[in-house]
Structure 1
Amino acid sequence: RERLEFQIKQGMNGLDMGYMGQSGLVSILDCRLGSVTIREPFAKLRENLSILEPHQHLGSRVPLRLLLRDDGRGKAIAVLYVMTKGPVDSRPLEDWLKTGGFGGWEIRRVRNQKLRFVSSELVITSGNPTVQIRIAGRDLILTATSFSQVNRKAANVMVDLMLEQINPDGRLLDLYGGYGRFGLAYADRGGEALVVDSAPDALESGRAYVRNTGLLVKYQENDLGRDDLSGIDASSFDAAIIDPPHSGADGAVVDLLNGRGPERLIYVSCHPAALARDLKLLSGYHVDLIVPIDMFPSTSDLETLVILDRK
């Protein structure tokens, strides 16, 4: 994996790092699922937790979450989320992050833990905390908090599968598209794409890439779970691809596709239960092909690409 997230909490023997289990924090000394690029700085941070020990509110009254990412340039970057509504004294946190040897890092305050990826506030940044992704021979730059798949090779397999299944020079509707990984790959083959997502940073990364490449991709900001989608004419596209979050597709998206969706639909899912529910709800389509990709070994999650055609 090129992205790992850990929790930092006060335990019986002081601060500890790991994953949350059913009965509390599971201490992690090393995570071999991660790339070497992010495992090495994780080890350094773990060795230097003592820097934070004098500040006993950290990891107790003020929970901490640490996101580590491979930046695509041979370095790791970090985002440290501080869960508090009050002011953040970043000095000990900065001293701690400096021991990791990162290419860049950010400290962000989060008032609502469930919305940390979309509503965190930047406290301080250092270096170049961005992620570089190579697409069609050019580099796309993402912010540290923008979503990308945890495994680039597996993500490329999904892109290739998509391209095999749809007309190469038509129009693609890319819903929950983020920076447009699918839409950009499709446009690079000669087609056009509309990418719809709610994350402004990811959309701007895609727009910057398109300005440099001239690919026929447009970006539209919509919260697919809340906004009125009547302005999206899904019937004008040759195919659609949706890659919703873990919870699955929003009801408005299902209604849009059932009502006036294109002839071919590709559904990318990481949660089998949500996928099964949504395939039943997508009553205007029948399943043609299911391709599982084990991107999350030893977990209940399974990345799956499903090809559907209109009934």
Structure 2
Amino acid sequence: MKKIGVLTSGGDSPGMNAAIRAVVRKAIYHDLQVAGIYHGYQGLIEGNIQDLAIGDVGDIIQRGGTKLYSARCLDFKEEAGQLKGIEQLKKHGIEGLVVIGGDGSYRGALALSNHGFPCVGVPGTIDNDISGTDYTIGFDTALNTVIDSIDKIRDTATSHDRSFIIEVMGRDAGDLALWAGLAGGAETILVPEDPFDIDDIAMRLKRGRDRGKKHSIIVVAEGVMTGHELQQKLMEKADIPTHVSVLGHIQRGGSPTARDRVLASQMGAKAVELLLQDIGGKAVGIRNREILAYDFNEVFDGTHEFDESMYKLSKELSI
């Protein structure tokens, strides 16, 4: 293999730039040429491809977002779009591809692999919802962003004796809500993996009031319901007034933490090592601190493991 490509797809996450940097520099170290594909699979179909040198990825390890940009591409879900992408890859002399992104990005990479084009996936998503890996690139940074927001909102909640509902991202996974809620001392955490009882939430809030607690923090994952929907339910069922803060896309931005920079560097380098061995159809992950590769099918056939023990602990500590 003499030349590989790299693209980012789906939602951006802090650390994607560090992964791009690792792919480019690891490849060049091994005398491979590297091409950057801009705007994800849409850019691949359109041939928005440029060769990258060492200097092109200088001074990006600390930057959030993605230097290669990202975009959604419905056309790539169809075989015709996938074949156009392969045609562009061959036109530019690219023999292997590193795809940095989440579940949808991996499906595109699997499709290319099934067409005989070697692809390796690197998990870049703040949701931490990729099966087969303990952590994804961007999760740690987003988590710290959420915790910082909870701390600041708690200052206002304390000053005004108010209860706040904080809605966080995570799609269908509750990791971001769980970790941030536990670290932020939230009284209640709602996650998609565990059913909730509105009466139980009301009881918790009332029990806190009875012992003199005048404010509470409730963290709800977007996969459960919106913060405003929960606010309405609490008013209807228990006549409990709350304020809602939707953190939104602030969770995706910002300079990546040291943990995300290191993880992205390790995973990006591992992806290049696999392509150097002509190995495709694999996802890169971390398990028990070991960087490894596993089949894409394991991603889609498996389920993301939710930490039930941590969730139980959060309830025990929020009495």
Larger relative CO (CA 8 A, sep 6+): 1 or 2? 2
Structure with a larger share of its residues in strand = 1
TM range (shorter): 0.3 to 0.5
Structure with a larger share of its residues in helix = 2
Between structure 1 and structure 2, the one with the greater Rg is 2
